[in-house]
Amino acid sequence: MIKRIKKINYTSWLFILPAILVIVSLLLYPVLSSVVYSFTSKHLTRPVSTFVGLQNYKKILADEQFYKAFFMSIKWTVASIGGQVILGFILAMLLNSIKIGKKMFRVLLIVPWAFPVVVIAVIWKFLLNGVYGFIPTMLVNLGLTDTLPQFLSSGTLVFPTILFVNLWFGTPMIMVNILSALQTIPEEQYEAAKMDGASTWQTFVSVTIPHISKVVGLLVILRTIWVFTNFDMVYLLTGGGPANVTMTLPIYAYKMGWGLKLLGKSSAITIIMLIFLLIVCSIYFYYSDKKEKENV
Amino acid sequence: MRKLFKKKMLVWGFALLASIFLISACGGKDKKDEATVDGELNGEITFWHSFTQGPRMESIQKSAEDFEKEHPGVKIKIESFSWDDFYQKWTTGLASNNVPDMSTALPNHVVEMIDSGAVVPLNDLIDSIGRNRFSEMSIGEGHVDGNDYSIPLYSHAQVMWIRKDLLEENNLEIPETWDEFAKAAEILTKDGVYGASFPTGSNDFLGTRYLNYYVRSHGESLLTDDLKANITSDAAIEGIKFWVDIYEKASPKDSISYNVLDQATLYYQGKTAFDFNSGFQIAGVEANSPDLLEYIDAAPIPKVNKDDEELGIETANIPMVVWENSEHPEVCKAFIEYLFEKDRYIEFLSATPVGMLPSLNDISEEPAYKENKIVKQFSHAEKVISDAVAKGTAIGYEHGPSVQAGLLVSQGIIESMFQDIITNDVQVEKAAKAAEEELNEIFSSVEQ
Amino acid sequence: MRKKLSVRTIIKYLTLILASIVAVFPLLWIILSAFKGPGEINQYPTNILPKQWTFDNFRYVLSELNFGNYIVNSLVIALATTFVAVTISALAAYGVVRFFPRVGKALTRLLITTYMFPPILLAIPYSVIIGALGLVNTRIGLIIVYLSFSVPYAVWLLVGFFETVPLGIEEAARIDGANKLQVFIQVVLPIVAPGIVATAIYTFINAWNEFLYSLILINSTEKMTIAVALRALENQEILDWGQMMAASSLVVLPSVIFFVFIQNKISSGLAEGATK
């Protein structure tokens, strides 16, 4: 249990006041307006709208496409986050354990993070193009396949391909954060473990893991939400195709809100997403709180 | 009351935040608008256009400066956004009163702008420039309930692009019918070159566009007279089968995920023998593959039978609109009329020769227009495209401007249908029926 | 024993080299393509290296398309956002961890709810708010909106880093008579410096690459950010790959330089900070 250094007083409030101001002023209105829209026939460009009750929700929950997109979103998020964490963790451990060239590798490895999504889509589509793309032609030249692989247009290859791009893009951020967490572990803790005669593995389990788990946990939650609600990466790479196999919930909502201009309906989709994510987060918090209590 | 309080809180919060910032910022726009005095034009207008680069932008800029010189009371603020972005810009802009005084637009957008009461009629302006100088069709795209809400700035049309060298090497004539096209495309598919790529990526509308070529050349439409989707007509079913066949015989397999950029790049790389695009293809080839420029030419989109008369296929008339929010519509109108002055207009068009064709029919006969180097070099292509412009309409506009026509192209449903047929072996009739039903459901869901 | 170790080291390095190649390859491709003359990018088969190096694409993008100006705009906005957001968030995260552990937890959890809304749906309300404040088409307006997504993220992640700071160190400082702010700046910040840097990188990158809000809130061309300018280039009727590659390089490189710069800052500050 963390003991409070001093009683709560005004100086303590000053620390958190600016953040509260930002949040309240910037998020209350947008969030509330989305909730309100979801119960109306709000149209993107028409000025008038009427209250329709639960109509929007009913229609969406009756749409088969919604469930497909939902499932796809879950698959996409779980695979992306799982892959990014595993790869990011391995790379961070590797970086932390080497002496020479550490800085250089660290910079090289986070380069993908610097890419705006527009550029990601343009360059990967160019490199993966099934006619002239560098990667398919290289695979053929190396004798690995006979025909040019259709990375973005084959129903079976498209998911692994966009997943690869997302791992390429997202791993650096996880890596940097894990690395930062590793670097905040005080040297004494390792020394203490050594003195107790712990093996490398034991040190890893008893010192490293507990120390970084907090940051990694928070990061995973954040990235999960981000990937789940992210729209442009998949949209720009595949547009949800071929034959809707990569249609995620945000793309579905986008098509509703901007394609059909049915802002009411797309707000309802967002609210459903919000509720789902809240449930996921609550489960996570429940278990992390429980674990914390056990540790005390 | 409560709302007011919330707003006050907001403002207060922002003021506090803003004071933290150390960087200086530019002040908000100050609108010092005075009323018009005795006929002299006065006031500041904002003009959004979509010519984000090169000579087109400069040409407009210069016209604005000249106009300001002639009317000292007028100030024209020009701001530019790409076509795709422009759409998000004005739709959100409507919600927060952040729209310009005048702008360029796409025909589909105009319908929505009229629908939401965002733009004003321009009947007087069109009359003043000369109603009969425009083609009836191009004006018709902004015509609702006796009012004309848009004025076409320039036009272009979809045509077939060929590679003269490849045709010659294989002793082939320029295909005039779809059958000839299919045969030629199949023959030309060899040595790493594809006869024709059939693009149907989900984040673009090329599948719809290609199907529309075929259906329109049969004199049919993708919409019925009462504005329902029409994907199951004989021509449409045949068209779907036709393109699936081309896909299998002459197209790279990757093309089912292609958007317009991917498709054009293939032609720039010399990897496709035929392509379909507007006159902008010339500037694109010139920028990316100057070596190919001498081998390309345009030809009419194939017909059903050789002796059929040429039907219009797809024309784009790029319009300008004046916004309801504008405090100075008279300035906007005067400036638009200024842009259409002969020499000025010809200079504007020469920014993308053959890409932008005049919407005023007398201009194309002007010597100054004809003298342009590219117009001369591609005089055949220019003629082909001009002929196509005169007869065609935007996709689905055969029945006049409609929201349905916009939805037909923007939803990716026809693209998805093609992908379904190709990757999942769904039967054509079944897939077409499903797509048609889906479109009709969408049409009904937006009707009010 | 020694030999075994070095084999392990070799594998480590090989893995890192391979990963680095995958990471950097697209950037290299973009930069090299930007130096190719007209026709060469779209030549098939493609050369990796330009046959003839040309600066034309960069020259055009910088002088004719004014990308230099957009880079400055984005830089000002991204740096200001990073500075303000990280300052506000570091204070808040520390405050939450030290002074309001209970309430704070609930509060930070509430924070991430904001991430559950796709930006595309927040765009409309934001344009209304910024419009009501008369801040449309100002950099301040844009920075304020950027705070809406940077602050929640930064607070959320920094809480994790601050929680790793041992209380003992702070108590020692307090016994020496330092006040809260002094403890925070002199003792706590150096320890969590790597976390701050990671957060700053994230905030910077997101602000630098942000597209949608910038498109909607900024009207005038001279205030446009680089992401919007890039999109304008991509969505042209006349597509020029050389220009697009040059513009893309100019968008990605400043972030990479920012990485190099900010990374050197941590590795020195940290080691001493933690052991003090």
**What's the pLDDT band for C186 if we cut at 50, 70, 90?**
confident
**Is the domain of B60 the same as that of B126?**
yes
Within this chain, do residues B335 and B373 fall inside the same structural domain, yes or no?
A: yes
| Residue from the list A23, A98, A274 with its beta carbon closest to the beta carbon of C151 | A23
Residue B35 has pLDDT above 60, yes or no: no
Give the pLDDT score at A43: 86
pLDDT number for residue C132 = 87
Domain assignments of chain C as residue spans, ordered by start? 2-33, 65-275
Domain match, B134 and B51 both: yes
Same-domain status, B17 and B118: yes
Is B273:B194 a contact under the CB 8 Å cutoff?
yes
pLDDT, mean over chain B: 89
Residue of chain C minimizing CA distance to A188:
C275
What's the pLDDT at C4? 57
Question: What does the pLDDT look like over B162-199, one tens digit per residue?
Answer: 999 999 999 999 999 999 999 999 999 998 899 999 99
- In this prediction, residue B448 has a pLDDT band, given cuts at 50, 70 and 90, of low
Question: Is there a single domain that holds both residue B117 and residue B171?
Answer: no
Report d(CA A97, CA A84) in Å as an integer: 20
Q: What is the CATH number of the domain that holds B34?
A: 3.40.190.10
Best CA proximity match to B320, nearest among B86, B145, B93: B86
**For position A57, what pLDDT does the model report?**
96
A11, A20, A118 ranked by CB distance to C234: nearest? A118
Residue C227 contacts A where some CB pair is shorter than 8 Å: yes
What pLDDT digit, counting tens, does each position of B74-116 carry?
999 999 888 888 888 898 888 788 899 999 999 888 998 998 8
pLDDT tens profile C24-82: 999 999 999 999 988 888 777 777 888 889 999 999 999 888 899 999 999 999 999 99
Phi, psi of B88 (to 5 degrees): -65, -35
Whether C274 has a pLDDT exceeding 70, the answer reads no
- At B310 the pLDDT is 83
Q: What is the pLDDT of residue C184?
A: 87
Supply the pLDDT for residue A44. Answer: 83
Test C231 with B82 for CB contact under 8 angstroms. Answer: yes
A226 → closest Cβ in C104, C115, C197: C115
Q: Which of C216, C239, C243 sits opposite B89 (nearest CB)?
A: C216
Task: Grade residue C267 by pLDDT with cuts at 50, 70 and 90.
Answer: low
What residue numbers bound the domain in which B87 lies?
2-156+316-377
A110/C251 Cβ within 8 A: no
Of the three residues B358, B377, B396, the one that is the final residue of a domain is B377
Q: Does B394 fall in a domain? A: no
Residue whose structure tokens are 């779209």: C42
Among candidate residues A15, B18, B11, B16, the one with its CA nearest the CA of residue C88:
A15
Give all chains having 3 or more CB-to-CB distances under 8 Å with chain B: A, C
Confidence of residue A194 (pLDDT cuts 50, 70, 90): confident
Last residue in a domain, options B334, B353, B377: B377
The pLDDT value given to residue C265: 65
B402 in any annotated domain: no
Between A83-92, B381-390, C93-102, the lowest mean confidence (pLDDT) is in C93-102
Homologous superfamily of C65-275: MetI-like (1.10.3720.10)
Tokens at C233, concatenated:
């280039």
Q: Are residues B62 and B205 in the same domain?
A: no
Q: Please count the residue pairs, one from chain A and one from chain C, whose beta carbons lie less than 8 angstroms apart.
A: 281
Per-residue confidence band for A209, with pLDDT thresholds at 50, 70 and 90? confident
pLDDT score, position A296: 59
Task: Let me know how long chain C is.
Answer: 276
Compute how many other C-beta atoms are within 10 angstroms of the C-beta atom of residue C85.
30
Ramachandran assignment for A53, one of left (phi > 0), alpha (psi -120 to 50 degrees), beta (any other): left
- Predicted local distance difference test score (pLDDT) of residue C221: 85
Instruction: Please spell the DSSP secondary structure of B330-383, one letter per residue.
Output: HHHHHHHHHHTSHHHHHHHHTTSTTTSEESBTTGGG-HHHHT-HHHHHTHHHHH
Q: What architecture does CATH give domain A63-295?
A: Orthogonal Bundle (1.10)
Q: What is the pLDDT of residue C233?
A: 84
pLDDT exceeds 70 at position B1:
no
Whether B437 is covered by a domain: the verdict is yes
The total of other beta-carbon atoms located within 10 Å of residue A9's CB is: 10
Query: Within this chain, do residues B420 and B292 fall inside the same structural domain, yes or no?
Result: yes
Residue B10: the pLDDT is 47
Q: Is the pLDDT of residue B12 over 80?
A: no
Q: Is residue B386 part of a domain?
A: no
Higher pLDDT, C142 or C65: C142
Residue B252's pLDDT is 95
Residue B207 maps to a domain: yes
Q: Which of B329, B355, B377 is a domain's end point?
A: B377
Residue partners of C59: CB distance under 8 A and separation at least 6: none
Has residue B216 got a pLDDT over 90?
yes
Distance from CA of A192 to the nearest CA of C (A): 14
User: Of A72-86, B82-96, C140-154, where does the model show the most confidence?
Assistant: A72-86
pLDDT band at A7 (very low <50, low <70, confident <90, very high): low
Sign (positive/negative) of CA torsion B386, B342, B374, B205? negative
Is the model more confident about B250 or about C168? B250
Residues 233-262 of C with CB under 8 A from A: 234, 244, 248, 251-253, 255-256, 259-260
Q: How many domains does chain B have?
A: 2
Give the strand pairing for B194-196 and B272-277.
parallel
Lowest average pLDDT, out of B128-142, B247-261, B345-359, C173-187, goes to: C173-187
- Exposure string over B341-353, b if 16+ CB within 10 A, otherwise e: eeebbbbbbbbbb
> Does residue B281 carry a pLDDT above 50?
yes
Least confident range from A49-63, B379-393, C106-120: namely: C106-120
Q: Which residues of B72-99 are buried (b: 16+ CB within 10 A; e: fewer)?
A: eebbbbbbbbbbebbbbbbbbbbbbebb
